[in-house]
A and B are shown apart, each in its own frame.
Chain A
Amino acid sequence: QVQLVQSGAQVKKPGASVRISCRTSGYTFTSYEIGWVRQAPGQGLEWIGWISGYNGNTRYAQKVQGRVTLTTDTSTTTAYMDLRSLRSDDTAVYYCARGTTVTRGYYYMDVWGRGTTVTVSS
């Protein structure tokens, strides 16, 4: 079955960087996008970005643009999210999700990872 397995929780100091991995299985990696969404404690969902499993094209939320980089490794069907210059308001659960298209330019997130908790604290 389709699975997205995320790396474990991390604690970082302000100004540091964090990398989260999202290892996928059970589907053709290059035929789908990977989306990233985060959720601050007690808050709603916030989209971070998309990356194409096919060609690595990316699209980022303006709020994190310049601090976030999404990448993929097609040999291991794994997606990565790097977030730099961490601030306390980056404390959140970060989710990866498979993006499926049914019409050009549109993707829905149909399978989600369990989330990775990132805590930014001095």
Chain B
Amino acid sequence: DIVMTQSPRSLPVTPGEPASITCRSSQSLLHSNGYNYLDWYLQKPGQSPQLLIYLGSNRASGVPDRFSGSGSGTDFTLKISKVEAEDVGVYYCMQALQPQLTFGPGTKVDIK
């Protein structure tokens, strides 16, 4: 199975400031079709996960443009340009390249 790691595991943030989370995979997630099979999900406190980014860099419907995804191969980044209080929660990356889907361990984002 592809192993996903994330850093940092905990990220205190200040509203209005930028924030960044890194996700790394044990194998390249770049498909022969040119897409990176890497998604980002956010689980807000007490809620179900929600899709933020799919195929590495595509914002899901309704996701604010302060969220962006980048990277290729084994190294990916989720950036929040200006954190808002509603962005707190646990962020997970997930690989969808192999049939056995695997999530990263999560990064907990909270307000300083």
Interface residues of A (CB under 8 A from B): 37, 44-47, 59, 61-62, 95, 97, 102-104, 106-110, 112-115
User: Could you tell me how many residues of chain B have their Cβ less than 8 Å away from some Cβ of chain A?
Assistant: 28
Query: Given the known A-B contacts A45-B103, A47-B102, A106-B35, are A115 and B48 also in contact in the complex, defined by CB atoms under 8 Å?
Result: yes
Give the complex CA separation of A103 and B1 in angstroms.
22
Closest B residue to A112 by CB, please name it: B48
Query: Given the known A-B contacts A108-B54, A112-B50, are A44 and B60 also in contact in the complex, defined by CB atoms under 8 Å?
Result: no
Closest A residue to B97 by CB, please name it: A106
Closest A residue to B101 by CB, please name it: A47
Residue of B43, B48, B96, B99 with most partner-chain A CB within 10 A: B48
Give the complex CA separation of A57 and B73 in angstroms.
29
- Which secondary structure characterizes the binding site on chain B? loop
Return chain A residues, CB-CB under 8 Å to B39. 108-109
Return chain A residues, CB-CB under 8 Å to B35. 103, 106
Pair B103/A46 contact, Cβ less than 8 Å: yes
Pair A44/B92 contact, Cβ less than 8 Å: yes
Pair B48/A107 contact, Cβ less than 8 Å: no
Pair B101/A110 contact, Cβ less than 8 Å: no
Within 8 A of A (CB), among B63-101: 90, 92, 94, 96, 99-101
Closest A residue to B4 by CB, please name it: A44
Q: Which of B49, B50, B96, B104 contacts A37 (CB 8 A)?
A: B49
A115 to chain B, nearest CB (A): 6
Q: Which of A44, A95, A106, A115 contacts B96 (CB 8 A)?
A: A106
CB-CB nearest 9 A-B residue pairs: A47-B101, A112-B48, A108-B54, A45-B103, A44-B106, A110-B51, A44-B105, A108-B39, A45-B92
